[in-house]
Chains A and B, each alone.
Chain A
Amino acid sequence: MTVYETDVPGVGKKFEVEIGGEERLVIVIHHDGKREVFHKSNPDADADRVFSLTGQRAREVGAILQGAYFQPVETDSVDVPLGDAIIEWIDVGDDSPLAGQTLADAQVRQQTGASIIAIQRDAETLPNPDADDTIAAGDILVTLGTRDEQSAVEGLVTPDDDG
């Protein structure tokens, strides 16, 4: 990947980045911290302005792009002290092994240690589901557990690759 850097007197710096194929991104960083991002479908095309960000927002977006963990927005509703536990929302895919099973069959709690505290189905939320409630494809499971327990749930919900 080639990055071309140019000084723009009185403005700041300009970076042109090849992003595969003919496409290019052009990023202009102003002295006041503002970032403008342009997209070119090929080196000869006119650039389209995609978006511009303040310095602070640019750093946050940059952290997301880097894959660094991003702090979720703290809402007032989540003020329950949960210790090490966190709440996660996990999508059940069409090919998930759990689809069609009741909670009793799935044995999520026994296998992972995390509890399913609600099932979101379309616009409805089923709080405190019973053992005979069924998990359907397309559901979102709301689970409570530590980070490791949550990873284990993800492992159960996603289909096994080894068939």
Chain B
Amino acid sequence: MAELLLELGVAVAGIAVAGALATRVGLSVIPAYILVGVLLGPNAPTAILGLPVDFVSDGEVIAVLAELGVVFLLFFLGLEFSVEQLLRDRRKITTVGSVDFLVNFGIGAAIGLAFGWTLVETLFLAGIVYISSSAVVTKSLIETGWIANEESSPILGTLVFEDILIAVYLALLAAVTGGGGLREAAVSVGVAFLFLGGLSVVAWYGSAWFERLFTTGSDELFILRVVGLTTLVAGAALALGVSEAVAAFFLGTGLSQTTHVERIEHIVAPARDLFAAVFFFAIGLSTDITLLAGVAGLLAVAVVATTAGKLVSGTLSGRVYGLDQRRSLRVGLGLVPRGEFSLVIVALAASIGTGRLGSVLPAFTVGYVLVMSVVGSVLVDRADTITSAILPSSAEQ
């Protein structure tokens, strides 16, 4: 017990230090959490200046906390899912979301096939490079003040569409890769959709019941109920071979129609932040960065192609919303960062662990997220310079 507790202490303290350093230099915290995981984990580097730094093993305690991180990331995604906004702007959101998906998922699929990956590996790769980071993107929107400008509408609309798509995508992939042949895959897809269908019906019609279930004066009882129910639903899903993350997403959408949203934001969000930080750290723990050298070519191609992909799809999305060239380009710049959801996808890949899914893909994804979150921040910071360089004709404002 002493050893476990000490390991966990080292882990969380390391995460805290990494987060503080990242914030000090103005970078996103997600790559910092991963890096400290790489550093303290069992893989290289195991020693710095002759002193051992492999303090934390990739054990069950951290694995469970990391799992809760995935569950709560997706739970909050569902909780904050704006059905109203989706319905109000459904045509525009569907258009920009489809453009975003076709361009970026297409580029990912093309890269995978060009490098001779199998179909399933390619599907994972395409998902990883397709999905933008909601956390990093909204944070940079706020920091730049773009949140108050017109370019925020297509950016947020795209994120809303990506949220739905990631839920469907994870559900499908989890079911398809459940093992066995075509027939077993078909059965598990069926089970998955029955379970998720049931859950979404409960979510949709159970609002009143949720409303009563979570009504309590005590914050302590409140957080216990929310965390208890979410973890229970996620665990039941996993036991049935359904994606626990998707189950949590549906539960979140069910709660999004109740009056408890604000309170969950206030009281449960810190728990989500803690678990999610451990999840990013755990990704770092399991990453073997020595594999990065082998995927350097793939990484370079992916970074260049998928940055360009988001710029193109974002610019088109801005046009759909009737924005001028300068603002449309900003939409593209704003959507470049990739982060937590790429890591959620790769966690699923690593849990399957066959072929490239268990080794090369995690290393690639960690490298990719590190590069893309930095590239994304730099692009947004330098947005005015970039837009005036690309659009010399644009009038000064």
Interface membership of B159, Cβ < 8 A: yes
Q: Is the CB of A10 within 8 A of B85?
A: no
Q: Are A28 and B82 in contact (CB under 8 A)?
A: no
Q: Would you call B147 and A10 a contact (CB within 8 A)?
A: no
Q: Report B-chain residues with C-beta under 8 Å of the C-beta of A49.
A: 145, 148
**A31 with B262: CB separation less than 8 A:** yes
When chains A and B are docked, how far (Å) is the Cα of A7 from the Cα of B80?
A: 9
Name B384's closest neighbour in chain A (CB-CB): A46
Residues of B within 8 A of A21 (CB): none
Chain A residues with Cβ below 8 Å from B393 are: none
Residue among B81, B266, B269 making CB contact with A9, cutoff 8 Å: B81
Asked if B397 contacts A45 (CB within 8 A), the reply is yes
Any B CB within 8 A of the CB of A109: no
Contact A10 B135 (CB under 8 A): yes
- A11: nearest chain-B partner, CB-CB: B138
Q: Within 8 Å CB of A26, what residues of B?
A: 147-148
A38 on the interface (CB 8 Å rule)?
yes
Contact with A along B260-287 (1 / 0, CB 8 A): 0010011001000000000000000000
In the assembled complex, the CB of B160 is this many whole angstroms from the nearest CB of chain A, namely: 7
B85 engages A7 (CB within 8 Å): yes
| Residue B76 CB within 8 A of the other chain | yes
When distances are taken between beta carbons in the complex, the residues of chain B under 8 Å from A16 are 148
Given contacts A31-B265, A31-B266, A45-B397, contact A10 B80 (CB under 8 A): yes
CB–CB A40/B148 < 8 A: yes
Residue of B nearest to A32 (CB): B266
In contact, B142 and A11 (Cβ under 8 angstroms): yes
Chain B residues contacting A46 (CB-CB under 8 Å) are 145, 149, 397
How big is chain A's contact interface, by range?
20 to 34
For the complex, what is the distance from the CA of A8 to the CA of B269, rounded to whole Å?
16
Which of A8, A28, A36, A45 is most buried by chain B, counting CB atoms within 10 A of its CB? A8
In the complex the two chains form, what is the Cα distance from A162 to B160 in whole Å?
A: 62
CA distance A40 to B81 in the complex (A): 28
A31 to B262, CA, bound (A): 7
Pick from B147, B150, B156, B397: contact of A28, CB under 8 Å: B147
Residues of A within 8 A of B150 (CB): 43-44
Least CB distance from A82 to B in Å reads: 42
B142 to A28, Cβ gap below 8 A? yes
**Residue A23 at the chain B interface, CB threshold 8 Å:** no
Which residue on B lies nearest to A7, using beta carbons?
A: B82
Min distance, Cβ A47 to any Cβ of chain B, angstroms: 3
Give the most central of A6, A9, A38, A47: most B CB within 10 Å: A9
Q: Which residues of A sit under 8 angstroms from B76, Cβ to Cβ?
A: 10
Q: Mark B189-221, 1 if CB is under 8 A from A, else 0.
A: 000000000000000000000000000000000
Q: Which of B81, B145, B269 contacts A47 (CB 8 A)?
A: B145
- When C-beta atoms are compared, the residue in chain B nearest to A37 turns out to be B148
Check: A48 CB closer than 8 A to any chain B CB.
yes
Contact between A10 and B138, CB atoms less than 8 A apart:
yes
The CA-CA distance from A109 to B342 in the complex, in Å, is: 78
Determine if B3 is an interface residue (Cβ-Cβ < 8 Å): no
Determine whether the beta carbon of B148 is less than 8 Å from that of A47: yes
User: Whose C-beta in chain B lies nearest to the C-beta of A46?
Assistant: B149
Q: Which of A17-39 contact B (CB under 8 A)?
A: 26, 28, 31-32, 36, 38
Digitize A137-153: 1 where CB-to-B-CB distance is under 8 Å, 0 elsewhere.
00000000000000000
Residues of B within 8 A of A36 (CB): 142, 148
| B residues less than 8 Å from A45 (CB atoms) | 397
Residues from chain B with a CB closer than 8 A to the CB of A28 are 142, 147-148
Interface residue from B148, B153, B324 paired with A38 (Cβ < 8 Å): B148
Is the Cβ of A8 less than 8 Å from the Cβ of B147?
yes
- A31 to chain B: which residues have CB within 8 Å? 262, 265-266, 269
Least distance between B169 CB and chain A CB atoms (Å): 18
Residues 24-53 of B, flagged 1 when their CB comes within 8 A of A and 0 if not, give: 000000000000000000000000000000
Chain B residues near A6 (CB-CB < 8 A) = 85, 153, 156
- Inter-chain contacts of A7 with B (CB < 8 A): 82, 84-85
A47 to B397, CA, bound (A): 12
The answer to whether B145 and A9 touch across the interface, beta carbons within 8 angstroms, is no
Question: Could you list 17 A-B pairs, sorted by A, with CB under 8 Å?
Answer: A8-B156, A9-B80, A9-B134, A9-B138, A9-B156, A9-B159, A9-B160, A10-B134, A10-B138, A11-B142, A11-B147, A14-B152, A31-B262, A31-B265, A44-B150, A44-B324, A48-B145
Contacts beyond the supplied A7-B82, A45-B397: 8 A-B pairs with Cβ under 8 Å: A6-B156, A9-B163, A11-B147, A31-B265, A31-B269, A44-B324, A46-B397, A49-B145
Interface residues of B (CB under 8 A from A): 76-77, 80-82, 84-85, 134-135, 138, 142, 145, 147-150, 152-153, 156, 159-160, 163, 262, 265-266, 269, 324, 397
